[in-house]
């Protein structure tokens, strides 16, 4: 099914916790019993901070790392938002001091079977797995597994990872050793969190395409896609998990395995800073908010224009607009008001339906834009339909001019590492020349962030970033391409 909206979606967000609060076998007081369901509840609240990374489905799994109950996995997952899926009743079933959660978006199919976490039972007990990213050689690995008799219940590549780990575990002295062996076979992007009966394991691919970080709250260790989840959970950010690193958390504490670290140049997706991550997150030592403010300043330098007001498209364009205003001296103001109660926007089949969906979500603030020359700033242009509709809305509300500025370079290539950027034939900047696109959008001018400026938005000099969707230069070879 093709995503016909004009906003990009990212694969998902992961979150895991190991709590030592309920491990005292001699403590049977009420407070200890409360602690036995606290891990999953903390995951539930932390996932709200990651909901922007996926709205198709969500899930939480838990287990108790002590006694005979250690092999029992409690799982709740379903299509929908967190508020659709979880209730006080089903949260109360998620007992245990280890828990992991997941929010998901995927262009591969909106089926419940693809919801994560995924649970498997095998000769060594059970494995529960959730991941963020895209394994570029998953089809090849799946074909090998099918030829060996493997059975799959979903189209989710995380199930491929699960099969591989389960097969390696009987010949490995630990679950982390099995993960280590499987990582040699995986190509592409993944930030995975794995729960065994007595351990929580987190691993980030050697190129670090997707973010993953470590936090702590009291005696609880937490791993998350973004540091903002720690704020909600009352935890303190410790550090980013390094590309290629495996973290193991168990009763005895935390250990790190770095055999795969510094073997390859990191290639974190630069679009995390442009759009995916929340502005209050810090990823690999860089503030997302500061990066977006600098993007706005760079846009103002690269594409100056005389205007009366700078506005941002909520919510991703707001930081860019502030930065543009600071650099240009043109006042910042509200121009589009978001209706926060529209819920999810489902796929619209006709242009009229798509226009109605945009109008339902964003309404012009006529008193602030009528008769003015407006600079409207957004994060990206995919097919151009949303941007075109927003220009119509602003001009209908009385804007004298609408100048579009985009906080990223033009999309010219698909992504193979977990973002549903469509094929080139569907991308507006491929289909049209710059002049044609400006006219099609109904804009008075159009400016994108120059690709060379991506290196100047405050990113780390000792790190590496993937910008293949803009440049066509991918950090790894893509199978069949």
| 8-state DSSP, 332 | B
Q: How many residues does the chain have?
A: 481
* Strands 362-364, 220-224: pairing kind: unpaired
Which string of DSSP letters, residue by residue, matches 70-85? GG--EEEEEES-HHHH
Q: How far apart are CA 313 and CA 184, in angstroms?
A: 42
Contact 75, 102 (CB under 8 A): no
User: Which secondary-structure segment (H or E) carries 344?
Assistant: none
**Integer angstrom CA distances of residue 375 from 56, 297, 408:** 33, 13, 16
Q: How far apart are CA 194 and CA 213, in angstroms?
A: 14
Catalytic residue set: 12
In terms of Cα–Cα distance, which of 247, 285, 243 is closest to 267? 243
3-state secondary structure string across 51-117 = HHHCCCEEEEEEECCCCHHHHCCEEEEEECCHHHHCCHHHHCCCCCCEEEEEEECCCCCCCHHHCCC
In terms of Cα–Cα distance, which of 380, 455, 463, 467 is closest to 417? 467
Contact 205, 186 (CB under 8 A): yes
Helix (H, G, I), strand (E, B), or coil: what is residue 381? Answer: coil
Instruction: Write out the two tokens for 402.
Output: 């609408």
């Amino acid at each position: 099914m093709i995503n016909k909206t004009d906003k990009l979606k990212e694969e998902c967000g992961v979150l895991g916790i190991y709590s030592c609060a309920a491990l005292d076998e001699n403590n049977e007081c009420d407070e200890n019993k409360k602690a036995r369901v606290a891990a999953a509840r903390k995951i539930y609240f932390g996932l709200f901070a990651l909901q922007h990374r996926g709205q198709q489905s969500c899930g939480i799994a838990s287990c108790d790392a002590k006694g005979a109950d250690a092999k029992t996995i409690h799982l709740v997952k379903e299509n929908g938002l967190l508020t659709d899926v979880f209730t006080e009743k089903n949260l109360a079933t998620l007992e245990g001091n280890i828990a992991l959660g997941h929010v998901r978006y995927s262009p591969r199919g909106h089926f419940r079977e693809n919801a994560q976490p995924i649970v498997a039972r095998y000769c060594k007990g059970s494995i529960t797995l959730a991941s963020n990213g895209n394994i570029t050689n998953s089809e090849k690995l799946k074909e090998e597994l099918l030829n060996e008799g493997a059975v799959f219940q979903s189209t989710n590549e995380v199930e491929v990872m699960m099969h591989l780990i389960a097969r390696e575990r009987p010949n490995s002295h630990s679950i982390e050793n099995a993960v280590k062996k499987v990582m040699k076979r995986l190509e592409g992007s993944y930030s995975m969190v794995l729960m065994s009966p007595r351990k929580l394991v987190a691993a980030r691919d050697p190129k670090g395409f997707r973010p993953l970080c470590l936090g702590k709250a009291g005696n609880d260790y937490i791993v998350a896609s973004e540091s903002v989840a720690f704020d909600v959970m009352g935890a303190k950010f410790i550090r980013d998990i390094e590309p290629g690193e495996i973290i193991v958390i168990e009763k005895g504490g935390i250990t790190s395995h770095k055999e795969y670290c510094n073997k390859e140049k990191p290639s974190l997706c630069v679009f995390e800073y442009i759009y995916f991550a929340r502005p209050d997150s810090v990823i690999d030592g860089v503030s997302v908010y500061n990066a977006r403010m600098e993007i706005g300043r760079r846009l103002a330098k690269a594409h100056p224009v005389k205007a009366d007001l700078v506005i941002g498209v909520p919510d991703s364009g707001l930081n860019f607009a502030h930065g543009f205003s600071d650099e240009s001296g043109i006042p910042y103001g509200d121009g589009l008001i978001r209706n926060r109660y529209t819920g999810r926007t489902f796929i619209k089949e006709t242009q009229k339906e798509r226009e109605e969906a945009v109008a339902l979500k964003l309404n012009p603030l006529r008193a602030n834009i009528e008769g003015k020359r407006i600079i409207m700033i957004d994060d990206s242009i995919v097919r151009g339909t949303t941007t075109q509709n927003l220009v119509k809305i602003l001009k209908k509300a009385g804007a004298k001019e609408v100048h579009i500025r985009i906080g990223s370079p033009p999309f010219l290539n698909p992504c193979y590492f977990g973002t549903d950027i469509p094929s080139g034939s569907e991308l507006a900047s491929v289909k049209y020349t710059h002049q044609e696109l400006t006219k099609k959008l109904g804009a008075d001018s159009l400016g994108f962030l120059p690709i060379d400026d991506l290196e100047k938005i405050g990113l780390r000099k000792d790190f590496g970033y993937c910008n293949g969707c803009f440049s066509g230069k991918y950090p790894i070879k893509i199978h069949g391409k």
